[in-house]
Structure 1
């Protein structure tokens, strides 16, 4: 993706944090059948000291037949995002020179994908996926709540996916290219909107603005 320097996110903890918080991803592949996108929940795990992504698809999905094992893939994780009106910019009131844009947080993961058919692996992955998403429930459901023979019959209906990560790229587009007073205007404007995404982006813009203010001071001290 086009990733201007102002918007680049290189903090591995921040990148992995977004993957965990927004795990419903888009898996993009290319094979003899052409370009394809699949949407699925993804787990970020550790294997042999390295980060990997794990997921599964329905066996009825032809992907595992049309895309060869060990193929290169791209996985996109979309975080919070929202529209930014020029009306939020004080400079627009003075000059009129402003256009709309969109603020967003996104992570792209490139890697090599393998198919896994082993039942024990599939069950362990399903258990981890379930535990992660049931954690907030008052009475978390687990696979142990279903008859064992039922679960064992369901496992052959899915194919496991494991992606060995080769690169992680993040883009935090949060009005960093705007002057400070416009960033303050964006925070104020979004804070008055209804909808969690606006307030989340407002907080992220505020945080990014604070980092921009701190960085020159750190650089000056180091010099």
Structure 2
């Protein structure tokens, strides 16, 4: 990922937070089938390894898992908030007209080689943890134990799990840091007044250090 120095995020807690807030990541591998990509919910265990370890699963019918099993390096993409930035947001445009459109966004890329597993107990634990994470806060959270045991056992036979220790992390936080303070405030104001809630989300992030 191309990251100008002004937009580089190297804070591990910030990168982990972006990973945890991304509900669906993109797994990219390259193997005998060429480039492959899958969209997956993942779990991050921050305390496993220097950069944390990511856990997920793929359908056995999705042959991308073979790339992982063969030891290919994988890229996991965690996209955060994003917003189009109009030149009209910049007060400086009224002075010299030197402004063009751009895009503000947050992104984290994680790289590593994964361990693949199909042990039923380990898969059951992974699915239970994933479900617990996404059911948390619901009035009646669903649990993997709510389903019949034989049904779950059958489902487990159809998936492959993986654990990917993160060997390298890249973080990009592009929130107009290369502009003047007046222009930054103009972008924040313009996005916060937008009717698009995704623009508002990016504006709120611009208030954070």
* 1:18 counterpart residue number: 18
Quote the Cα distance in structure 2 between the aligned partners of 1:120 and 1:57: 16
Q: Which TM-score applies when normalising by structure 1?
A: 0.89
Give the Cα separation in 1 of the matches to 2:49 and 2:38. Answer: 28
Q: Kindly tell me: are residues 66 and 44 of structure 1, through their superposed partners in 2, closer, same or farther at Cα, counting changes over 3 Å?
A: closer
Aligned match of 2:80:
79
Q: Which residue of 2 aligns with 1:3?
A: 3
More strand by share: 1
Correspondence list, 1:1-223, <5 A: 1-46=1-46, 51-65=52-66, 68-208=69-209
Secondary structure class of the residue paired with 1:99: coil
TM-score normalised by length of structure 2 = 0.95
What does the per-residue CA deviation read over 1:135-193, in whole Å, with 9 as the maximum and x for residues that have no partner? 02111001111111111111001010111110111000000000110001011111111
Structure 2 residues without counterparts, runs of 5 or longer = none
Report the CA distance shift for 1:175/1:46 in structure 2 as closer, same or farther (over 3 A): closer
User: 2:68 touches 2:115 (CA, 8 Å); kept in 1?
Assistant: no
With over 3 angstroms needed to count, the CA separation of the structure-2 counterparts of 1:67 and 1:129, relative to structure 1, is closer
d(CA) in 2 for partners of 1:25 and 1:17? 13
Q: Which runs of 5+ in 1 are unaligned?
A: 209-223
Shift of 1:199: 1.5
Aligned equivalents of 1:79 and 1:183: distance in 2?
Answer: 19
Aligned length: 208
Tell me which structure has the larger Cα radius of gyration: 1
Q: Secondary structure at the match of 1:38?
A: strand
Give me the whole-angstrom Cα distance separating, in 2, the residues matched to 1:203 and 1:107: 19
User: Equivalents in 1 of 2:96, 2:48: separation in Å?
Assistant: 57
Q: Does the 8 A contact of 1:183 with 1:206 survive in 2?
A: no
Cα separation, 1, equivalents of 2:28 and 2:206? 29
Alignment check: 8 A CA contact 1:69 1:113 kept: no
| CA distance in 2: counterparts of 1:46 and 1:175, whole angstroms | 29
**Aligned Cα root-mean-square deviation (Å):** 1.4
The answer to whether the 8 A contact 1:55-1:161 is kept is yes
